[in-house]
Chains A and B, each alone.
Chain A
Amino acid sequence: MSNAYIDDFPAEAKLVRTAFYSSFLALALGGVFGIIQTLHRTGYYRFIDSADYYTVLTAHGVFLVISFTIFFLVGVFTWAITTSLDRGVEDLRFTWGWYGLMAIGITLSGVAILAGFTDATDISASVLFTFYAPLQAHPMFYLGLVLFVVGTWLAGADWFRSWWAWKQENPDARIPLPTFMVLTTMLMWYIATLGVAAAILLFLLPWSLGLVDSVNPLLTRTLFWFFGHPVVYFWLMPAYMMWYIMLPKVSGGKLFSDPLARVVFVLFLILSVPTGIHHQYLDPGIAEGFKFIAMTNTMFLLLPSLLTAFTVVASMEHGARQRGGEGYFGWLTALPWRDPVFTGMALAGLMFAAAGFSGMINAGMNINYLVHNTFWVVGHFHLTVGTAVALTFMAVTYWFLPQITGRALWSRSVALGQVVLWFVGMTFMSNAMHRGGLLGVPRRTAEPQYDGFEFEAAVGSMGELQAQIALGGILLTLSLVLFFANVFGTALNGRSDELPANEYAGTLSGPEDAPLVLDNLKLWTAIAVVLVIFAYTFPLLSIVDRGGLFGPDINPLPVSLETVHLLAFVLESHATGALESIAWLGVSR
């Protein structure tokens, strides 16, 4: 008998497994829509109606960045809490309860989105994952999101409960690092989700139900981004956790510094939320001063990311030197490249470093104008969430699968090929997306081609960029196929008795070196709340002051065809009226 996770915590392993499989289902669906839209917008293969493009893109966005990432997160966090506190969950029924709520929620939202493909019902939710008004979804979509988020809140409560119970028994011990990471991330999540909760419950859901006539689009957008920036850290924190506690171990070394890791997570708790307005640099109706504050906070966020780069690389180097590596760069060859868990995470980290540059461009208020809403942005986040997060998740899956299924991994070589293929595919796709963005190619567009206008590339041509994107998309899809082959192959393997033990990395400098104040979660939460109040009170007040809580009357979209005709008629009569009066002015002069 081995010491794998499933041996110590069979019931919890089942939950983690279920969460992972839910996450993989979302990944598969998201991947299918990804390749459809890639081939569609590059013009290589168009079999859907362009009018359905937003339905496809909504499915891609929501399934990947809401269900794939967050189901994986709850699996990893449950593993982290139970392993690092060395105790099972307090009440399994409660644990399955929040999982169930999340599953029901995302199913409702998912069905609402997919229903957009058929005319059999008038249910649809082609509002993209940002659900900006006036795009309007069926109430089922918003309701599902609410249930899903409430599920994550309860999951957080479950983890806090485990920690409190553990603290009773270990009053003087430091919070174990993985638990610390889970708790700080969840505190950030509680603060952040207040924004979407308000946007949905107070405005969008009542509007979609017909209880109120209109909403203030700028207000709901701002509330969305209140959540929308920190949500990127919600995707990233489980990946960071893996870089801090698994990567050093698979490299053959130890985590360089436990205190530094704690500092990083505290900084993310404090700084993630008061930055959301950096997604709204181009929104009219928000004063430049507020945007400037958001930019400053954003630049401070570079600090924890650079600290992470240092700590993680230093931990890998420690492993490499223990394995006999030498020299300034020579140690790189002593790393375990044969291990897909290692190679996947290392390549993910490398792409994240590249994303650091495009992110700095996005973050600068003036340079942002150059790339805002272009394909550049899509290139950027396929490096961050689409690779740094997604590839890390896929890579650690190769470590987790044996732990939670009790079966040996189907094929390590296929796994290695898979992570490398993702890297190559993403290089092609993301590079060309960035370049296209610089030429002004818009994102979220089914047919980015215009009469009498050609995008001009400085090097190469637009056609070459399109080809590069399509090629990248195809390689990524192949990579996904290999990934799922391994997941299925492993599930079909027999039970193995020789699995590695369920362990994470030790530390060179441990928690005893960390100042006690770092563990004072109340203090950090209070500071985070104060910063949020500073950053958001005035912008929100001025938005409400100008546009009203429920805004100027707006027309929800999608509109039926009759409304379009009506709208066109109204516009036309206004326009002719205006023209007539101008003509009249001209005559009377």
Chain B
Amino acid sequence: MCPMTDESEQRREIGHDEYDPVGTLALITVYFLIIALLWVFMYFVEFLGNEPTVVGTFLTVVGLA
């Protein structure tokens, strides 16, 4: 049993120039899509579903009830 996973399981050597990280691209695209979808979802649920929040040009002072 090898104590660590290292060279022992390496099947080939891929140098800087042959390496094309398409899998990374694929994963990050998926992540980006999820984030974008959640963002849209956030808008519907949290803004359309709730009363207006207190951000604004005039009414920023606390205590205007």
Contacts and interface: CB of A to CB of B under 8 A. Distances in A.
A–B direct touch in complex (beta carbons closer than 8 A): yes
Interface of A: 249-250, 252-253, 256, 284, 288, 309-310, 313-314, 317-318, 320-325, 327-329, 331-332, 336, 338-339, 341-342, 353, 356-357, 360-361, 365-367, 369-370, 399, 402, 408, 438, 498-500, 508-509
Contact of B3 (A252, A366, A408): A408
A535 B54 CA distance: 24
Nearest to A313: B24
A331 B55 CA distance: 47
Contact of B14 (A321, A341, A360): A321
B14 A310 contact: no
Contacts of B23: 313, 317, 320-321, 325, 327-329, 331-332
A349 B29 CA distance: 16
Contact of B9 (A256, A323, A328): A323
Nearest to B27: A313
Interface in B1-58: 3-7, 9-16, 19, 21-24, 26-28, 31, 34-35, 38-39, 42, 46, 50, 53-55
B26 A366 contact: no
Given A252-B5, A318-B21, A509-B16, A357 B11 contact: no
Contacts of B39: 360
A357 B55 contact: no
A353 B50 CA distance: 27
Contacts of B21: 256, 313-314, 317-318
Contact of A318 (B7, B14, B53): B14
Contacts of A323: 9-11
Interface of B: 3-7, 9-16, 19, 21-24, 26-28, 31, 34-35, 38-39, 42, 46, 50, 53-55, 60, 62
A256 B26 CA distance: 17
Nearest to A312: B24
Contacts of B10: 252, 322-323
B42 A336 contact: no
Nearest to A283: B62
Given A318-B21, A339-B4, A399-B4, 4 more contacts: A321-B19, A329-B27, A336-B9, A369-B55
A366 B9 contact: no
Contact of A249 (B6, B14, B16, B31): B6
B24 A314 contact: yes
A278 to B, nearest CB: 15
Given A318-B19, A498-B3, A500-B4, A252 B9 contact: yes
A533 B12 CA distance: 52
A361 B42 contact: yes
Most interface-central of A253, A321, A332 (chain B CB within 10 A): A321
Contacts of B50: 370
Contact of A369 (B19, B34, B54): B54
Contacts of A309: 28, 31
Given A313-B27, A318-B19, A336-B9, A370 B55 contact: no
Contacts of A356: 35
Contacts of A438: 46
A338 B31 CA distance: 25
A486 to B, nearest CB: 15
A390 to B, nearest CB: 22
Contacts of A341: 4
A336 B5 contact: yes
A500 B15 contact: no
Contacts of A327: 23
Contact of A508 (B3, B7, B19, B46): B19
Contacts of A336: 5, 9
Contacts of B24: 310, 313-314, 317
Given A318-B14, A318-B21, A324-B12, A369 B4 contact: no
A353 B53 CA distance: 28
B6 to A, nearest CB: 7
B53 A370 contact: yes
Contacts of A314: 21, 24
Nearest to B35: A357
A444 to B, nearest CB: 21
Contacts of A250: 4-6
B31 A353 contact: yes
Contacts of A369: 53-55
14 contacts: A250-B4, A252-B7, A252-B9, A310-B24, A318-B19, A321-B19, A322-B12, A324-B11, A324-B12, A328-B23, A332-B23, A357-B35, A365-B55, A508-B16
A366 B53 contact: yes
B26 A499 contact: no
Contacts of A353: 31
A356 B35 CA distance: 9
Nearest to B2: A500
Q: Which 6 A-B pairs have the closest CB atoms?
A: A336-B5, A314-B21, A328-B26, A500-B4, A314-B24, A324-B11
A369 B14 CA distance: 49
Contacts of B28: 309-310, 313
Contacts of B13: 322
A488 to B, nearest CB: 20
A248 to B, nearest CB: 11
Contacts of A331: 23
B7 to A, nearest CB: 8
A566 B20 CA distance: 73
Contacts of B6: 249-250, 252, 500
